[in-house]
Amino acid sequence: MQETHDVFQNQLNIKCTKPELELCRRLAELIGTRAARLSACGVAAICKKKKIESCHVGADGSVFNKYPHFKARGAQALREILDWGEKKGGRNARDPIEILPAEDGSGVGAALIAALTLKRIQEGNLAGIRNTEGMLEGTKAKDPKSNQV
């Protein structure tokens, strides 16, 4: 509670009582839990729609990596949404679908988008794509005989 008290006192110049500090802390915990559960909803929806029963999902960003208990709350939400029940095998047991930190998620995401765009161009799906010649310049995809992206 001391850290919360110090933030209010020193940064916001607000003097809080102990019950007020406890309320603020609990509210922050509820907001963080809701955020973790909402992110798990998106993962669960995709897995259900695609009939994926086991995979690793990469999550990028400071909230996932640094917010206290975010990973555990997201994993618990997945267990509840996908009706897995409690983990069997103790703390070290793995869930069928895990959300893990992605290293250089932005770079990997950009590379994936570029590869998928090249694949779309090769398939003739040019909706929303400008300057296809410029995009193909210097790639194997420029060769019409190449089926590689």
The DSSP bridge pattern shows strands 55-59 and 97-101 to be parallel
pLDDT band of residue 126 (cuts 50, 70, 90) is: confident
Q: Are residues 57 and 118 in the same domain?
A: no
User: Are 41 and 27 found together in one domain?
Assistant: yes
Determine the pLDDT at residue 94. 83
Domain that holds residue 120: 106-142
pLDDT in tens, 71-124: 999 999 999 999 887 666 666 678 899 998 887 777 888 888 888 888 888 888
Same domain? 71 vs 126: no
pTM: predicted TM-score of the whole model, two decimal places:
0.66
Q: Is 147 part of a structural domain of the chain?
A: no
d(CA 112, CA 104): 12
- The reported pLDDT for the residue numbered 117 is 86
